[in-house]
Amino acid sequence: MIEARELTKRYGDKTAVDQLSFTVRPGRVTGFLGPNGAGKSTTMRLILGLDAPTSGSVTVGGKPYAELPAPLRAVGSLLDAKGAHGGRSAYRHLAGLAASNRIPRRRVDEVLDLTGLTEVAGRRFSGFSLGMGQRLGIAAALLGDPEVLILDEPVNGLDTEGIRWIRGLMKSLAAQGRTVFLSSHLMSEMELTADHLIVIGRGRLLADTTMRDFIETNSRAHTLVRSPEPEKLRSLLEAKGADVRLDARGGWRVDGPDAAAIGDLARDHGLAIHELTPAHSSLEEVYTALSQDSAEYRTHAVQSPHAVRSSRKETV
């Protein structure tokens, strides 16, 4: 469990993190979202004791990081994939970390296996691709078998297979009852991976809620509909006051009447329907709409998506 209470960090007159309070709970993957410069990396550094808060506090498993008796066993982190020494092999890098943290050598083999690096363990880190470096960073984070994992952009540089692998790994670690806290700019991936979201803007908390709630509360339900006579369908729908737009996947995206009403309307006019799918906006659509409302980021610090919604003129 990670608990931040009124956490604040100022650099001169720049407030990077502003009275942030949240709890990252075990047993689920929590995504950390915010536009560039929102304060995500600063928050992660504060959690990991790499920077001291100006005021407020943050604890991991009930203790500030500096007071953890065996930090690497309590919390594993990936902040910078280039943290390893270029001349060393992956194995030596991990073995060095294990030795200085009194972690048994056999754990090195386990994490190499877990991250798919066994075959390249003898190679120098300097020859690693970005994706392999990312895997090595994750191997190091897992070395102490920690209860808490903090990963900043873990899918950065990974190919599709690597991204899918990270997703599976994060979910299985959470299912084991661990606390998994990760940031990513890849919204589609975040939507598939995280169960819960903490969203910040300008250092302040904007939302702390489940993925489902965040999307459902901030988006408007709509229907995707496809017909072999698209223009006729559009005219009928618009005559009923529906908002009809072309969907990126083809077909119409219809706001207003629900799927049943659209189906009935088409039937009444002898129109064939080839697809009728109730849908919500994606995380990316919801998040982009919230982020673009920069005035809101400046002036509101809200605790729930309901508040986000009520302060927005329109949902997506």
Ligand X SMILES: Nc1ncnc2c1ncn2[C@@H]1O[C@H](COP(=O)(O)OP(=O)(O)OP(=O)(O)O)[C@@H](O)[C@H]1O
Q: Which residues bind ligand X (CB under 6 A)?
A: 11, 14, 16, 34, 36-42
- 251: left (phi > 0), else alpha (psi -120 to 50), else beta? left
Closest separation in Å from C-beta 7 to ligand X: 12
d(CA 188, CA 248): 15
**Cβ nearer to ligand X, comparing 147 with 153:** 153
d(CA 309, CA 315): 7
The DSSP letter of residue 139 is H
d(CA 175, CA 150): 16
Are 221 and 246 within 8 A, CB to CB?
Answer: no
d(CA 19, CA 99): 38
Closest separation in Å from C-beta 34 to ligand X: 5
Burial of 69 (0-12, 13-18, 19+ CB in 10 A): exposed
Are 203 and 20 within 8 A, CB to CB?
Answer: yes
Closest separation in Å from C-beta 259 to ligand X: 38
**Cβ nearer to ligand X, comparing 11 with 250:** 11
Residue with tokens 């998506």: 305
Token pair for residue 120? Answer: 């390249």
d(CA 32, CA 101): 28
**Cβ nearer to ligand X, comparing 21 with 315:** 21
Closest separation in Å from C-beta 18 to ligand X: 10
**Cβ nearer to ligand X, comparing 98 with 199:** 199
Residue 7 bridge partners (DSSP): 20
Closest separation in Å from C-beta 227 to ligand X: 42
d(CA 84, CA 95): 12
**Cβ nearer to ligand X, comparing 193 with 217:** 193
Closest separation in Å from C-beta 298 to ligand X: 13
**Cβ nearer to ligand X, comparing 36 with 100:** 36
Closest separation in Å from C-beta 101 to ligand X: 27
**Cβ nearer to ligand X, comparing 11 with 27:** 11
Are 121 and 136 within 8 A, CB to CB?
Answer: no
Token pair for residue 45? Answer: 């550094």
